[in-house]
Amino acid sequence: MNNSETWHYTTDVLIVGSGAGALTAAVRAADNGLNVLVVEKTELWGGTSAMSGGVVWLPNSPLISAAGGEDSIAEAREYMRRVIDNPEQHARIDAYINSTGKLVQFLNDSAGINLTPNPHYVDMYPDVVGAKWQYRAHEFDPIDGALLGDDIHTLRRQHPQTTLFGFIGWTANDATILQTRAPGWLKTAFGLVAGYFLDFPWRLKSFRDRRLVLGGSLVAGLRMAAKIRGITMWLSSPVTKLISDDIGVVGVVVQRDGHEVRVRARRGVIIASGGFERNTELRNTYLPRPTDARWTAGSPGNTGDLLMEGLRLGADTRFLEEAWWGPTTLVPGEPQARMLIIEKNLPGSMLVTRSGDRFVNESSSYTKVVKGILQANNNGGESVPAYFIFDANYRKRYPCGPVYPSSVMPDWMLTRRLRKWLYKANSLEDLAEKLGIPPRRLVETAGNMNLFATSGTDKMFNRGGSLYDRIYGDQTNKPNPCLGAISTPPFYAIKVYPGDLGTKGGLHTDEFARVLNVSGHPIRGLYATGNCAASVMGSAYPASGATLGPAMIFGLIAADHIGLHSEF
Ligand SMILES: Cc1cc2nc3c(=O)[nH]c(=O)nc-3n(C[C@H](O)[C@H](O)[C@H](O)COP(=O)(O)OP(=O)(O)OC[C@H]3O[C@@H](n4cnc5c(N)ncnc54)[C@H](O)[C@@H]3O)c2cc1C
């Protein structure tokens, strides 16, 4: 069906979604001289990208050497090939590594967006050949949200865990300093709070921090670039159908203001509609059980609509059983799960099953911890939920979810909502009783941890044995920054689930981001990037920023490929 009389709107490129992948593709396509329409399902733009930490993994970017680091295509390729361990991905891996410089140049020169390589982030497998211990993860400079005009009101908010007190913006660097109590943490905290409250003119207008950081600054920078180029964005407009003829995809059906709008896309459709993490049925079909849509930290609109449409048109898929796993906890009153990123690495804590046993190196990567939870559960260990246990010393020094250290937020300050979430007891036995764990076993497990803390060696799971583990530990804690005694009452616990930041399996694409059918041929006019596409990272999670990086790079590549190929 391509009769122009049946179309309500015509554009060159139709982009589904408004996250990092979508907006990168939109701006680049406009720079390639194409008309672009961005269509977002929810009433807010930005997707999970806007809620995120905004860290983008760009190995061998030209900014690394400028920051004093060293990297090369050969090292990046070696690292990715070893960690991802999937020859089918080699062409995409090469396309990714070869395009990091192009992305940086595009963001800087065309969109006026600046990034800085972060000195604190280590690749998740630091001992693998080609790994780097700093600078591959890049962060976006903060942006003044007032420059967005009214669009700031429809920008999806940061996830509560990526803000100070749930509303003050902080950079990844600030967060690391505060959460690990690195030197200068008090000054950093004071500066952030003062900056927010002293912004009088804006405070009169809005509670929202206009200093956009992390994922907020990433998508805001792109949105500003899109606005300058006159790119139209429709909100509250889900794409419900891909329209194809016998050549390929030629448009979409959008639900808009209660009507079906048929949009013709003369040059192509780029799907950037996120994963299916919010779809219980699809989770049950594809992800390892048990699973639950409440355990994801991802954006509410991400229900896999376009994955299903791709399947209907004969697209192939990969890695549907995979997600960007992360141990999550459900804080009452918060709309999405929170991931435990730093908490699990800090000393004086452990994860146990319902039977009171440890089962994993708590300080290992998020993926490994979730795989550990699922494996323990499959082996009959009742680890869903698992319990994250810590003592008063931990509570005094470190944050856990929305609860700040008791030195600044003592227990009497906790609201009822938080007291419902945080279990507390004066002895480990009493805590065990509350959780339904055999008390003697929990005491024994904590006793083992206390021995490991003294010796500095976790004889069971080697927690704190790798550089990655230690980077989020407490550097002042000796001899091992991740190991501490759990011996000072009162004791605390929260429930932990095998959650995620989003799914990562989806439509099978090639190195040009073209969606492939089950025979391995591109479906003409159809591209995919971000979590709706099967990840170039396969089942691995090589580094922080390994989800936003590919979303943006393959968005750029898709826009370039469409730019080079003529109308059909
Ligand atoms: C707290 C948190 C921190 C994170 N930090 C990082 C980080 O620092 N670095 C990193 O790499 N990753 C991070 N992630 C993960 C990362 O944010 C996501 O993997 C990434 O944003 C996914 O991008 P995307 O473009 O695929 O989808 P999204 O950004 O989620 O965008 C998809 C959009 O498509 C829309 N959509 C869905 N269906 C339709 C439809 N039918 N029609 C129209 N629109 C539709 C959705 O509503 C959504 O707005 C984090 C995630 C969370 C939750």
Average pLDDT over residues 380-401: 95
DSSP state for residue 475 in the 8-state scheme:
T
- pLDDT the model gives residue 2: 47
Of 301, 157, 323, the closest CA to residue 237 belongs to: 301
Q: Which residue's CA is the closest to the ligand 1 atom numbered 49?
A: 47
Closest atom of ligand 1 to 547 CA is: 11
> Which of 162, 167, 189, 169 has its CA nearest to residue 178?
189
Q: Ligand 1 centre from 286 Cα, in Å?
A: 19
Ligand 1, residue 300: give the atom nearest the CA: 47
* 118 vs 214: CA distance, rounded Å: 12
Q: What is the pairing mode between strands 168-169 and 317-318? A: unpaired
* 274 CA from centroid of ligand 1 (Å): 5
**pLDDT value at position 565?**
82
pLDDT band for 5, please (50, 70, 90 cuts).
Answer: low
Reference 74, options 139, 133, 132; nearest CA is: 132
Q: What does the pLDDT look like over 513-537, one tens digit per residue? A: 999 999 999 999 999 999 999 999 9
Is the pLDDT assigned to residue 566 strictly greater than 60? Answer: no
Ligand 1 pocket check for 40: Cβ under 6 Å = yes
Mutate to test the pocket of ligand 1, among 161, 219, 302, 509 (most ligand atoms within 8 A of CB): 302
What are the Cα distances from residue 250, in Å, to 17, 23, 73? 18, 21, 37
* Ligand 1 center from residue 359 Cα (angstroms): 30
- Tell me, what's the pLDDT at 342? 87
Phi first, then psi: what are they for 320, rounded to 5°? -65, -15
Share of the chain above pLDDT 90, in %: 89
Q: What does the pLDDT read at residue 381?
A: 87
**Residue nearest ligand 1's atom 20 by CA:** 49
Ligand 1 centre distance from Cα of residue 530 (Å): 8
Comparing 177 with 109, the larger pLDDT belongs to 109
Q: Which residue has the higher pLDDT, 157 or 172?
A: 157
The domains of the chain, with CATH numbers, are: 1-322+504-568 (3.50.50.60), 328-500 (3.90.700.10)
Determine the Cα–Cα distance for residues 170 and 192; give it in Å rounded to an integer: 7
Residue 193 CA to ligand 1 centre (angstroms): 28
Give the span between the Cα atoms of 381 and 141, in whole angstroms. 44
Query: Is the per-residue pLDDT at 476 higher than 80?
Result: yes
Which residue has its alpha carbon closest to ligand 1 atom 36?
A: 273
Q: Scanning the structure block, which residue is given the tokens 């000796």?
A: 478
| Segment 405-453, tens digit of pLDDT | 999 899 999 999 999 999 999 999 999 999 999 999 999 999 999 999 9
Average pLDDT, the chain: 95
Total residues belonging to the chain: 568
Type of residue numbered 13: V
Segment 332-343 mean pLDDT: 92
In this predicted structure, what is the pLDDT of residue 307? 98
Rounded-to-integer distance, Cα 55 and Cα 275, Å = 19
Looking at the predicted structure, is the pLDDT value of residue 184 above 80? yes
Cα(369) to centroid of ligand 1, in Å? 22
pTM score above 0.85: yes
Q: How large is the average pLDDT for residues 51-63?
A: 97
CA-529 nearest atom, ligand 1: 26
Confidence grade of residue 302 (pLDDT, cut at 50, 70, 90): very high
Residue 28 has pLDDT above 80, yes or no: yes
- Ligand 1 near 157 CB (within 6 A): no
Q: Which atom of ligand 1 is nearest to the CA of 49?
A: 21
Q: Which stretch of DSSP H or E encloses residue 560?
A: helix 548-564
